[in-house]
Amino acid sequence: MRTSSLEYPSIHGQGMTSQRTRDKLVLRLREKGITDERVLEAIGKVPRHLFVDEALASRAYEDTALPIGLGQTISQPYIVALMTAQLLRNGIPEKVLEVGTGSGYQAAVLSHLVPQVFSVERIDKLLRQARRCFHRAGLRNIYTRHADGRLGWPSQAPFPAIILTAAGTQLEELLLEQLADGGSLIAPLGTAGAQRLVEYTRSGDVFERKDLCDVSFVPLLSGLD
φ, ψ dihedrals at 102, nearest 5° = 55, -125
How far apart, in whole angstroms, are the C-alpha atoms of residue 4 and residue 6? 6
For the residues of 158-195, what is the DSSP string, one character each?
-EEEEEESSBBSS--HHHHHTEEEEEEEEEEEEETTEE
Q: Any catalytic annotation for residue 75? A: yes
Q: How many CA atoms lie within 13 A of 83 on its CB side?
A: 30
Catalytic residue among 10, 18, 58, 75: 75
The whole-angstrom separation of Cα 151 and Cα 29 is 33
DSSP 8-state assignment for residue 20: H
Residue 210 near residue 217, CB atoms below 8 Å: no
In terms of C-beta density within 10 A (0-12 exposed, 13-18 middle, 19 or more buried), how is residue 116 classed? middle
Q: Which residues have a catalytic role annotated? A: 75
